[in-house]
A and B are shown apart, each in its own frame.
Chain A
Amino acid sequence: MPDGISGAAKFDETDRRIINALQGDFPLVPEPYRQVAADLGIAEGELLGRLDALLERRVLTRFGPMFQIERAGGAFVLAAMKVSEVDFERVTAQVNAFPEVAHNYRREHALNMWFVLATATPEGIARTVIAIEAATGLPVFAFPKEREYFVEMKLHA
């Protein structure tokens, strides 16, 4: 069942400070949460409890290392499809069933389904594109990254 877009979630000032603090570099020390909590002026237990709750409520989608999988020998690619309204639900289920599909967004355009494929090897991308075309009966437009200009991926809460 796809998530709809339900708009901004409720979180308090302490949550906001936690979200912003945790988008920085998480300490590589034996007790990192204690250090972050001390910087925020809260107890470690409170930080852990709130972090669990933010993940549970999907205010945070994940917490941990963000891997650049091409550097680990893996590959990923942005891909898009034109899906008719009548087929949309079926194709969403078929595409999302592939574990290689990391995220998938509906967008307003003739190409209305945009997803990212992530595979352990570069060959895996071509294989997965073919498998998705076979499963859905629709062409997949692949948009491999030719050059990256800047990736920040930090948003101030």
Chain B
Amino acid sequence: MPELDALDRRLIVATQAGLPRVSRPYDAIGGELGIGGEEVIARLRRMLETGVIRRIGAVPNHYAIGYTANGMSVWDVADERIDELGAKVGALAFVTHCYRRPRRLPDWPYNLFAMVHSRSRDEVAARVAEIEILLGDACRGHDVLYSTAILKKTGLRIAG
């Protein structure tokens, strides 16, 4: 676990809703925290290096940019092969997130989750078929859960 001090935590709270859209955004954040812009930059850079920050940038609403079909594909993969195959599925360009998660029997037999974003359901289905081929015999069943409404989207926040 990377070491984060109290100031790092205040910096996270100050920036998790977004960066200010002003010419000198790091100075503006520093002004709120009582530190200089260079200190803000140095701390953000360190958090990027340690992985506390994945990247700094824009998060598109995937529906708005044309990825109107969003299928959560879920797979029941043999335990002894899931890590090897999960890495291959995760490396596919059209898979944006790929995780191993626990089964919840009997309601939920699936242990591999791969999110597929495309411009249509037909395109999602074609990509899911590609994953099915890749998994082969190691896969005992799958499903695709399409999203039909965004009920809430605020991004991940920690309390200040």
Contact = CB atoms under 8 A, between A and B. Distances in A.
Nearest to B18: A64
B21 A108 contact: no
Interface in B22-55: 22-27, 37-38, 41, 44-45, 47, 50-55
B100 A149 contact: yes
Interface of A: 2-9, 11, 19, 22-26, 28-34, 44, 48, 51-52, 54-55, 57-69, 71-74, 76, 78, 92, 95-96, 99, 101-111, 113-116, 118-120, 141, 143-155, 157
Given A8-B64, A31-B23, A65-B19, A76 B156 contact: yes
A112 to B, nearest CB: 9
Nearest to A82: B107
B53 A30 contact: no
A6 B67 CA distance: 12
Interface residues of B, number: 79
A105 B25 contact: no
B130 to A, nearest CB: 16
A116 B1 CA distance: 22
A58 B100 contact: no
Contacts of A65: 12, 15-16, 19, 44, 47, 53, 55-56
A118 to B, nearest CB: 4
16 contacts: A2-B149, A2-B151, A3-B153, A5-B148, A30-B26, A63-B19, A68-B54, A72-B8, A104-B151, A104-B152, A106-B147, A147-B83, A149-B91, A152-B95, A153-B54, A155-B117
A11 B159 CA distance: 34
Given A64-B56, A118-B158, A149-B87, A108 B146 contact: yes
A62 to B, nearest CB: 5
B44 A4 contact: no
The 3 nearest A-B residue pairs measured at CB? A149-B90, A150-B90, A22-B58
A131 B8 CA distance: 29
